[in-house]
Amino acid sequence: MDWLERMNNALVYIESNLDGEIDYKKIAQVAYCSEYHFSRVFSSNSGISLSEYIRSRRLKLAAFEIQKSDIRVIDIAIKYGYGSADSFSRAFQKTHGIKPSEARNKGVQLKAFPKISFQISIKGDTELDYRIENLDYELRIVGKGKSVKTSRAFKNIPTLWSSAKKDGFMQELKDMAWENPKCTLESLLGVCGREAAITDDEFTYFMGVRYDGEPPSDMEILIIPASTWAVFPNIVDAWKRLYTEWVPTSGYELANLPCIECYYGPKHKPSHELWVPVISK
């Protein structure tokens, strides 16, 4: 079963459960992908977060039922996952621009939100360089976790590092790093998610360094198990192309671990890399 078929099977599962409970773990299982990576694969390829897609599809179906039936609005709200008429009304009005009760008026306009399906698009794009690294030992990373909105990650993460430089946290990390070089991953590290699971709207960005000593009292320890990694030399470019270009055609599956952003010291070429956990198909 290839990547495209698995992603579309996950969409079939979502569509079949819009009027019931949708289990995010089950979605990932159907796609043979971790929760951590599925939300990113989905948003990178669709341009919309998974939670927003599900919400929009449910509100589209809810609008259709309100128009075509005499079922009470509160019953339709509960059917599509809303705990109260007020929360349903706010979401409905935000999407369709009118109150649910007004959807039964003749001639009223509602917004359609069609089902998504994934297809492979062949483009004459530039090559995406990468290498495979096998680390047969766990990574013990010391640092601090910061909450990040997924939709604003590309803007917020640089701000986090800028703040860390100003308040001295970055220098603390540098003072601990590279005392006993162990591998090519000796750098300032940004771990995207404390665990493999990641929600659509928010995740923890763990800023730290590989360090074997006793951590300062205000820092935590994060352990990343031994794994195989696909390493890309440009973080921004890699994030843009990882899920849409590399994953579907690479011959690798994404492992159930977080990705790591590596920011190297002066004169290191390249200056930063994205490490992506993988397993061979």
pLDDT digits (tens, 9 = 90+) for 39-82: 777 877 787 888 889 999 999 999 999 988 889 999 999 999 89
Give mean pLDDT, residues 190-210. 75
Q: Which of 63, 85, 104 is the last residue of a domain?
A: 104
Q: How far apart are CA 1 and CA 159, in angstroms?
A: 41
Are 155 and 67 found together in one domain?
no
CATH number of the domain where residue 161 is located: 3.20.80.10
pLDDT of residue 168 exceeding 60: yes
CATH number of the domain where residue 52 is located: 1.10.10.60
Residue range of the domain that includes 35 = 3-104
Are 274 and 137 found together in one domain?
yes
Q: How far is CA 26 from the centre of its chain?
A: 16
Q: How far apart are CA 66 and CA 69, in angstroms?
A: 6
What is residue 213's predicted lDDT score, i.e. its pLDDT? Answer: 84
- 230 domain-assigned: yes
Give mean pLDDT, residues 192-207. 70
Report CA torsion sign: 50, 261, 188, 222.
positive
Q: Does 154 or 18 have the greater pLDDT score?
A: 18
pTM of this prediction?
A: 0.69
Are 90 and 154 found together in one domain?
no
- Give the count of domains, the chain: 2
Are 45 and 135 found together in one domain?
no
pLDDT of residue 184 exceeding 80: no
> What is the number of other CB atoms lying within 10 angstroms of the CB of residue 128?
17
